[in-house]
Amino acid sequence: MKTRELSMGEKQAILKLRKEGKSIRAIGQTLGIASTTIWNVLKKKETTSVLSNRRRTGRPRKTTVVDDRNTVRAVKKNPKTSLSHITNDLHSAGVKVSQSTVRRRLREQKYRGHTTRCKPLISSKNRKARLKFAKKYRDEPQKFWNTILWTDETKINLYQSDGKAKVWRKKGTAYDPKHTSSSVKHGGGNVMAWACMATSGTGSLIFIDDVTDDCSSRMNSEVYRNILSANLWKNASKLFGRNFIMQQDNDPKHTANKTKDFIRGKKWKVLDWPSQSPDLNPIEHELKEAAVKACNSITNEECNSLVMSMGRRLEAVIASKGYSTKY
């Protein structure tokens, strides 16, 4: 059935067939027009004695309902497609519109352009492991999560962040001091830090230069073992007493054979952790932002709230079928 506006010739054909005694259904089948449309034409003729439409205000839309539907379908199929690509596809279909028109049509359907969120790359293997982990621990009581000692490492920039800052300014004011960011000639440098926390509070914040004489050293397996040797049991005793389960991600220094042997020798229990899962680690949310200020500034209530979120984190992984979550 046709969805466009009927021509005057089609309307006159409807009247002619009706005068010949044809039913509305028969007219629709003959002309390929919906019965409701035919009824509206006949009703209008009966009440107004005219067939022409009233003059419309404003510029007619350059796209049809079908064009708009195809535009939305394109972004649903590939959210990363560009306006120019969609516009070119419409041009190929004979619809001559600008990118601004395409943008308006998408906004009418509540689509807006946004910067993509940066998340770890999750392979098929990672995804299956994340789902397995989430389903395995989803029904654990809060008492279980209260026994976890969450650990993580992060790089702390000593002077400025690695990211580029943005500023709102007018043309010609790029070098105004208010519109520039300060830098040092050879860069500010950075240090690696290790931290831990539990539902009852935070543990120590350990910098790599506290456990090695070489400030340029990387946090490798040897340095990591030194940190654990000097700090893990001390922090666990303060936060738990005796019974605890250690959490760490699958960084190479954590999974190195010497690290595994060291942990086995200490008889520490380790939570089986899926790779590429920072969104499942509560300490990720605090460490990167709070490390420079002071790890001890994180309140016990905040730690408790973060650990209490484990159930929601696991449900989010299951809901996303193992892909990245908002955490």
Segment 287-311, tens digit of pLDDT: 656 655 656 677 888 888 989 999 9
Mean pLDDT is lowest, of 147-156, 243-252, 275-284, 291-300, for: 291-300
- Tell me: do 128 and 276 sit in the same domain: yes
pLDDT tens per residue across span 130-160: 999 999 999 999 999 999 999 998 776 655 4
Q: Residue 165 domain-assigned?
A: no
Assigned domain for 180 exists:
no
Model pLDDT, residue 241: 76
> Does 2 score more than 60 pLDDT?
no
Q: Are residues 153 and 254 in the same domain?
A: yes
d(CA 90, CA 12): 33
Shared domain check, 255 and 135: yes
Q: Same structural domain for residues 129 and 105?
A: no
Average pLDDT over residues 208-230: 76
Look at residue 178 and tell me if it is in a domain.
no
83 in the same domain as 156: no
Confidence of residue 182 (pLDDT cuts 50, 70, 90): very low
Q: Are residues 135 and 238 in the same domain?
A: yes
Most confident of 152-156, 174-178, 228-232: 228-232
Residue 255's nearest CA partner among 204, 206, 220 is 220
Q: pLDDT band for 165, please (50, 70, 90 cuts).
A: low
* pLDDT beyond 60 at 257: yes
Tell me, yes or no, whether 88 and 215 share the same domain: no
Exposure string over 96-118, b if 16+ CB within 10 A, otherwise e: ebeeebbbebbeeeeeeeeeeee
- Regarding whether 286 and 254 lie in a shared domain, the answer is yes
**Does the reported pTM lie above 0.75?**
no
Question: For residue 177, is pLDDT > 80?
Answer: no
Is 18 inside a domain boundary? yes
Based on the fold, state whether residues 96 and 221 are members of the same structural domain: no
Segment 252-260 mean pLDDT: 95
In a domain, 230, yes or no: yes
Q: What is the CA radius of gyration of the chain?
A: 33
Query: Packing angle between helix 83-92 and helix 65-77, nearest 10 degrees?
Result: 140
Residues 104, 128: one domain? Answer: no
131: CB partners within 8 A, 6+ apart: 317, 318, 321, 322
Number of domains in the chain: 3
Q: Over the chain, what is the mean pLDDT?
A: 82
Is 103 a domain residue? yes
Helix residue ranges, H only, the chain: 8-19, 24-31, 35-48, 65-77, 83-92, 99-108, 124-137, 142-145, 221-239, 252-255, 257-266, 283-290, 300-308, 310-319
As a whole number of angstroms, the distance between CA 245 and CA 153 comes to 18
How far is 124 from 136, CA to CA, in rounded Å? 18
Residue 168 has pLDDT above 60, yes or no: no
pLDDT, average across residues 102-109: 89
Query: The domain containing residue 279 runs over which residues?
Result: 124-160+189-320
User: Are 35 and 135 in a shared domain?
Assistant: no
- Of 171-175, 233-237, 275-279, where does the model show the most confidence? 233-237
Note the pLDDT of residue 164: 52
Residues 195 and 314 in one domain: yes
> Does 174 reside within a domain?
no
- Answer yes or no: is 171 within a domain: no
CATH code where residue 201 lies:
3.30.420.10
Is 183 a residue whose pLDDT tops 90?
A: no
